[in-house]
Amino acid sequence: MKRFIFLLLSSLIFFSGCAVGKIYLNQDTAYKLYSQGLLYENEGKSKEAISYYQEALASDPSSGEILSRLAIAYLKVGSLKRAKKFFLLALKKDPENKRALQGLALLYLIQKNVNLAIEQYEKLVQLFPKDTSSWLALADLYTRKGNLPRALQLYRRIITFFPENAVFHYNYGLLLEQSNRREEAEGELRKAIELESNFLKAHLALAIIYEKQKKYPSAITQYRRVLDLNEKNPLIYQQLGRLYLEIDEKEKAKKILEKAIDLGIKDWQIYCSLAFVYYHEEKLNSAKLLLKKVLSWEKNATIYFYLALILDKEEQKELTIGHLKEAIRLDPNSHLALNYLGYLYAEEGINLKEAEKLVKKAVRLEPDNGAYLDSLGWVYFKMGKIKKARTLLEKAATLERDPEIYEHLGEVYCKSRLYLDALASFAKSLELKPSEKVRRKLESVYKLIRKPHK
């Protein structure tokens, strides 16, 4: 809002430079005093301008022009009560005084009275329909108030005045997107780009719309265009890396992230994303080197968590636990680290009370996360609390189709002597991911079922 008010005030200052010869005043003395005040005002000397305007008004009390100019000068020095008084006097003399209407609208905005400001701009667009600045100000105010239908109506009118203005098409596109009219928004943004091919913000807005629609290849094309225009924007590299991973283009993700680092962009999220790619390529040393490099200038929970993943894969349990604890120290609400450490304790069969506490917190933070419910269920299984484990694991299985969840559920069913359910769970686990370990469990259960009971 502050920038919006500054722009409006700037327009009033700019408007003060009009040719004084075109302003009709009743007295020569008033004209001379007014002209001198105008010169001072244009030099930024508002207090001196006020003095001359007051003298001019004394010579010609009927002049709405002097009244409005005096009001603007008071507005510039922050004397809002006096500014309002003279704006209203100017409008009493001439209800169609454009400068007074604009100034009063600005005054109401400074006072944060948006409704009264809107009233003034509504008058302005009715009286001066070709004045685009009033239409734009009014559209902006309705947008801020959340009245998108009226803002859209105003922008449609603006675009009829200026069909070749890329910025207006862009703004209209953003409003349409806010109204969930994405196809129309896409059309307006494409029009903006057609008019101005290097319109970075339009390319970016279009990329975001495509991403929301899960049109990832189209989003990538637009993000790529943004990079052509601004090669060192770290956020775009982050987005491109993430989208390439989303469509399982790991090689392209790696290349774009490596390019960012080669350009000297120091962004920990880019480094972490590339480390994640290396991790999945089994390039554990490369991933570790990247993350340790980041730690030289940035320390946060995510970096320590990623390092813990690598160390765990290398079976360095003590170091893994140390890094997870550091991640939790840096961010006590890091549900990823809380869950991972709790599950690791459960797998090792150690610190089970602490494991319960850690995973419970992760579940509180992410109550519908099937993986976290699975971890808590597994902690209870290790503690011998089979009923609690079964409840949580069955719920986890409704939230996520994950082979590990079904494997754990099979174990619980075995403990509960529900062998048919165990058999079904192990079979589902194998269906999702072949595993020799799970296959052996399934065969064991099958033998128990086939074994004749005495």
435 and 340 inside one domain: no
Domain that holds residue 65: 1-112
Q: Is 83 left (phi over 0), alpha (psi -120 to 50) or beta?
A: alpha
Contact by Cβ (8 Å): 303, 291: yes
On the question of pLDDT at 4 being above 60, the answer is no
Distance CA 32, CA 356 (A): 85
Distance CA 101, CA 91 (A): 8
* Strand residues in 367-418 grouped as ranges (E): none
Contact by Cβ (8 Å): 408, 393: yes
389 and 437 inside one domain: no
Q: Residue 359 has which token pair?
A: 């995973």
Q: Count CB-CB contacts under 10 A for residue 24.
A: 8
Distance CA 362, CA 359 (A): 5
Q: Is the pTM of this model over 0.75?
A: no
What CATH number is given to the structural domain containing 100? 1.25.40.10
Q: Rounded to the nearest 10 degrees, what angle do helices 436-450 and 403-415 cross at?
A: 30
**Is 234 domain-assigned?**
no
pLDDT of residue 11: 47
Q: Which distant-in-sequence residues (6+ apart) come within 8 Å of 62 by Cβ?
A: 26, 93
375 and 435 inside one domain: no
324 and 414 inside one domain: no
**Is 63 domain-assigned?**
yes
Which of these, 313, 371, 387, lies nearest to 338 by C-alpha position? 371
386 and 413 inside one domain: no
345 and 371 inside one domain: yes
**Is 250 domain-assigned?**
no
Q: Residue 442 has which token pair?
A: 């399934």
39 and 95 inside one domain: yes
30 and 98 inside one domain: yes
Q: How far is CA 58 from the centre of its chain?
A: 55
444 and 379 inside one domain: no
Confidence band, pLDDT 50/70/90 cuts, at residue 103? very high
Of 27-36, 44-53, 70-79, which range is least confident?
A: 27-36
Question: Which of 46, 80, 112 delimits the end of a domain?
Answer: 112
Q: Which long-range contacts (CB under 8 A, 24 or more apart) does 249-257 make?
A: 250/277, 250/280, 250/281, 253/277, 254/278, 254/281
Instruction: Dump pLDDT digits (tens) for 139-186.
Output: 999 998 889 999 999 999 899 888 999 999 999 999 999 999 999 999
Q: What is the DSSP letter of 387?
A: H
Confidence band, pLDDT 50/70/90 cuts, at residue 59? confident
On the question of pLDDT at 453 being above 60, the answer is no
Secondary structure string (H, E, C) spanning 77-134? CCCHHHHHHHHHHHHHHCCCCHHHHHHHHHHHHHCCCHHHHHHHHHHHHHHCCCCHHH
362 and 409 inside one domain: no
Is the pLDDT higher at 381 or at 59? 381
On the question of pLDDT at 26 being above 60, the answer is no
Which of these, 93, 86, 54, lies nearest to 67 by C-alpha position? 86
**Is 25 domain-assigned?**
yes
Total domains in the chain come to 3
**Is 349 domain-assigned?**
yes
- 3-class SS at 436? helix
**Is 202 domain-assigned?**
no
366 and 416 inside one domain: no
Question: Which of 61, 85, 112 delimits the end of a domain?
Answer: 112
Question: Which of 112, 133, 161 delimits the end of a domain?
Answer: 112
- C-alpha separations of 343 from 114, 312, 331 in Å: 54, 12, 18
**Is 135 domain-assigned?**
no
2 and 88 inside one domain: yes
pLDDT of residue 25: 47
User: Using alpha carbons only, what angle is made at residue 136 by residues 130 and 140, rounded to the nearest 5 degrees?
Assistant: 155
**Is 196 domain-assigned?**
no
Instruction: Dump pLDDT digits (tens) for 240-252.
Output: 999 999 999 999 9
pLDDT of residue 27: 57
